[in-house]
Amino acid sequence: MDQVLRRRLLDLLEKDTRTRQQAAADGSLFQGYNEALRAVHNENAKALAEIVDAGDWPDKFQAGEDGATAAFLIVQHAIGLPNFMRACLDLMEEAAERGGVPRWQVALLTDRIRMLEGRPQVYGTQFDWTVDGKFEPLPIEEPETVDLRRTAAELVPMAQAVEVQRKENAEMGGSAPSPQAWLSRQREFEAWAKAVGWRK
């Protein structure tokens, strides 16, 4: 294991976490895509791209389990860089085949990318408010077999995931937006997704 690589990844994630906490404390985290956080996400993605270009996906064999998890979280947060996220997904799928990353990480990144592209998710890992104030999983492709896919990806059954997500959202102080606020947020998100290249 490369301890220098591990430490670099952990330091990048710590900067992300610190910036997110600051934004949450002053309330700006919940007002669109926070500019300070956007800058950190893009800086961290650039650093991770340099690491990947110099070798391969930093899996647990190269960066330790915590370092590999940091790399996963960095790419999960790089939402303004569609091509980068897609390229990392390919690398993570290869790493999962050799046992270097857990399959649930591949599942979460797959769903995150599909959600950003405006497509139904595969594993049901992405949640949001509905227009009528319910906190639900976003649309799922072939929902009748989602638990089979979740089991293969080392995820808990869908019903349990819904219960956990709702509880965590409530503990974080999440509250349903008004229908007007929901529609406004949807329009803003659609405009942003088109602007950065997720959607046409």
pTM for the whole thing? 0.92
Instruction: Write the DSSP assignment of 70-121 as a string of letters.
Output: HHHHHHHT-TT-HHHHHHHHHHHHHHHHTTSS-HHHHHHHHHHHHHHHT--B
Burial of 48 (0-12, 13-18, 19+ CB in 10 A): buried
Instruction: State the average pLDDT over residues 135-161.
Output: 97
Q: What is the pLDDT of residue 30?
A: 67
Mean pLDDT of the chain: 92
pLDDT at 195 over 70: yes
List % helix, strand, coil for the chain (3-state, nearest 5): 70, 5, 30
89-135 pLDDT tens trace: 999 999 999 999 999 999 999 999 999 999 999 999 999 999 998 89
Q: What is the pLDDT of residue 162?
A: 95
62-78 pLDDT tens trace: 999 999 999 999 999 99
The Cα 11–Cα 55 span in angstroms is 19
* 147: Cα separation from own chain's centroid: 20
- Asked whether the beta carbons of 97 and 59 are under 8 A apart, the reply is no
| Residue scoring higher pLDDT (178 or 191) | 191
- State the maximum Cα–Cα separation within the chain, in Å, rounded to a whole number: 51
Q: What is the pLDDT of residue 121?
A: 98
Q: What is the pLDDT of residue 61?
A: 95
Question: What are the tokens at 40?
Answer: 């950190």
Q: What is the pLDDT of residue 179?
A: 87
Read off the DSSP letter of residue 177.
Answer: P
Q: What is the pLDDT of residue 20?
A: 87
Percent of the chain with pLDDT over 90: 77
pLDDT at 141 over 80: yes
Residue 57 banded pLDDT, cuts 50, 70, 90: very high
**59: nearest Cα among 44, 50, 47, 69:** 69
Residue 161 banded pLDDT, cuts 50, 70, 90: very high
The Cα 118–Cα 186 span in angstroms is 12
| Residue scoring higher pLDDT (25 or 45) | 45
3-30 pLDDT tens trace: 999 999 999 999 999 998 888 787 766 6
